Amino acid sequence: MSEETPQNSGQPAFHVEKLYLKDLSFESPSAPESFREAGEPRLEYQLETNAFQKGPEHFEAILHVTVKVQLNDNVLFLVDVTYGGLFLLRNIPPEHLAPTLGIECPTILFPFVRQLVASLVTEGGFKPVVLDPINFVALYQQQLQQQAQQRQQAAAPVA
């Protein structure tokens, strides 16, 4: 059961309007030969978050995950998932808006992405890949530090 917050109550509101799969790809370029290869595969994965304003009180948060598993020089499989959510953020103080979009929204999206990746990899004939939990607070702070460094570099006088 969802809580309804009157539009004009002035109270902060954070509501998940919709969760959805935006894009999905699974590739296993060397199958079926890859199933016979011996050795310890190497997993690499990248994660990106982003948010876009879609209306006065609506924001889309995006979580994009790419998982690549290789054995020697052969790609066993590649998974690429873009998952989104439409969120209602009403009466959120401006200083809390960016952290909500950069921390809270991806935290909600991540379990769905984790489940998709595990299911896809299993359906592809491989042992499931269960992504480790992500500390979105630390990731958000790291992004803020990178942005600050980029601003400093851009403002630095050219020698």
In a domain, 155, yes or no: no
Domain CATH for 97:
3.10.420.10
List the domain range (segments joined by +) for residue 58. Answer: 13-149
In a domain, 158, yes or no: no
How many domains does the structure of the chain reveal? 1
* pTM of the complete model: 0.86
Report the C-alpha gap between 110 and 158 in whole angstroms.
42
Q: What pLDDT score was predicted for residue 8?
A: 57
Whether the Cβ atoms of residue 65 and residue 81 lie closer than 8 Å to each other: yes
Q: What pLDDT score was predicted for residue 7?
A: 58
Each residue's pLDDT, cut to its tens digit, for the chain (159 residues) gives 444 544 557 899 999 999 999 999 999 998 898 888 888 899 999 999 999 999 999 999 999 999 999 998 899 999 999 999 999 999 999 999 999 999 999 999 999 999 999 999 999 999 989 999 999 999 999 988 988 888 888 887 766
